[in-house]
Structure 1
Amino acid sequence: MIFSRSPKKGNPAAQSGFQLTPLSSALWAPKRVYLNKDHIVFTAPVRDDSQVSQTLKGK
């Protein structure tokens, strides 16, 4: 699943000013996404206790 970063709506006191949104929820929701590995800057594992991991798990 691919997520995009979008501005957070609602609570202005939130720690971060963005949220992760599934690309499949976008208005233009593509059937497929092709990633060019030459354009990927970096990859890294995500810790289970990280904020990103918790967001992806829906917690």
Structure 2
Amino acid sequence: MNTYLNIFLLFVGLWIFTRTLIQEGIIQCPKAGSFITTVLVVIGAGLVIFTLFYFFSDT
């Protein structure tokens, strides 16, 4: 249960971070695709972090 809470908070943090980058213009994307871009970036970053966490905790 605690692990799921950590993953949820991680995705919320990534979501806010990505939205901030898009609003500041660091990540360039059209306005219509900003939501889809945010989703893809958050999922991609989440999968990378989750995979790294899984491999490091396995050893």
TM-score range, shorter chain: under 0.3
Give the structure with the larger helix fraction: 2
* Greater share of residues in strand: 1
Greater RCO, 1 or 2 (C-alpha within 8 Å, sep 6+): 2
TM-score, normalised with respect to structure 2: 0.23
TM-score using structure 1 length: 0.23
